[in-house]
Chain A
């Protein structure tokens, strides 16, 4: 079975630009969470979506937004990019609500110049 997939693998943007990252969960999984991981740190929780609704949000500014589609795939959008947004963005899927066993995709490496 295919695991969590993310696209693109790498991305280079300049300050002020906008970026969209994509994620497809494991087949049968209905929940998608997004994390940001900077070098030397553990992943930080950004959003969780379940059944197309936002179910949780971490301590990130409104420049970050996300959505989930009827097929449970998800997009993360970041507006007005800052240098500090450079990080590995990870998508994790889980079966459903109340199930914390999260499985990560390979991530998207975002570099902001």
Chain B
């Protein structure tokens, strides 16, 4: 069974700094990776996805993949208080289904 591991935090970062979030995955065959943001009391919101062929940048967000070490990172530049949320990492569950296997999430706090 696929597993995704994340440090639950909280991770505290000063406003304007770079927040770095990591997750490790168990299945070396995973081909795609997803980052979701979840505000307290709300549902997850897809903010970034990458495939195994490379990193991706979208505005202040950058997703990076290290296949050799089986971890994927999410960098948030110029962190804002509105970035304070739980960030969930996910990979496809496999087994013929398109469901996702999620980590427990990292709670990020941006300090003004």
Contact = CB atoms under 8 A, between A and B. Distances in A.
Interface string B17-38: 0000000000000001010100
Interface residues of B, number: 27
Interface centre among B32, B36, B98, B103 (most CB of A within 10 A): B98
Given A45-B93, A106-B43, A58 B98 contact: no
Main secondary structure of the interface of B (DSSP, over half): strand
B55 to A, nearest CB: 18
A33 interface: yes
Contacts of B104: 40-42
- Of B1, B93, B97, most A-chain CB atoms within 10 Å: B97
B99 interface: yes
5 contacts: A42-B103, A43-B88, A43-B102, A44-B102, A56-B97
Interface string A24-61: 00000001010100001111110110100001111100
Given A58-B93, A100-B34, A45 B100 contact: yes
Interface in B55-112: 88, 90, 92-93, 95-105
Interface of B: 1, 4, 8, 32, 34, 36, 42-46, 49, 88, 90, 92-93, 95-105
